[in-house]
Amino acid sequence: MNVYDFAMKMELDGKAYYQKLAEKTKLPGLKNIFLQLAEDEQKHYDIFKGLKEKASPAMQSTTSLEQAKNVFEKLMTEKSAVDQLEGDLEGYRYAMKLEADSFRFYEDAASREADTKVKSLLLKVAGEEQNHFNILQNVYDFVNAPTQYLAWAEFSNLDEFRNFGRG
């Protein structure tokens, strides 16, 4: 399996996972976040398929991060939102691990790529994967908020993104 086949499979797996999460949630805003993430994974799949076919694919910009911010602002005003979430925290953690692994994979592939256009494309995809991780971190934090204490949050380190899922 070459790197493009591996990347394409990874993106399709991510898409399927986000579609599954979208089906499980009853909150329309959260459902839209997961559907947007699935759509982004399809865009990434299309990029790698184009690269495999020796085409020159362009990366379309995404608005998933901005849309997620709007959803979280709305969810914060709805006190019953957490009660409606049937999301399982381990499922969100697993999705975060997938995004962190994807980020590292694309960053590593970019560091070894000689073609500057492909390298740039890989870094853009890696950046989107990092944005997906951030969105999922917000979902996880929102769902998990009732069990958190200020003392725990005081010691958080936002720079641990690269190390997430290792250990």
Residue 114, token pair as written in the block: 């000689």
- The answer to whether residues 124 and 77 touch, using CB atoms and an 8 Å cutoff, is no
CA diameter of the chain:
52
CA 77 to chain centre: 24
Tell me: the pLDDT tens digits for 122-162?
Answer: 898 999 899 889 888 888 887 776 665 555 555 555 555 55
In the chain, domain spans: 3-163
Tell me: the pLDDT tens digits for 38-65?
Answer: 999 999 999 889 888 887 666 655 555 4
Residue 118, token pair as written in the block: 């492909």
| Predicted TM-score of the model (pTM) | 0.70
Fold of 3-163: Ferritin (1.20.1260)
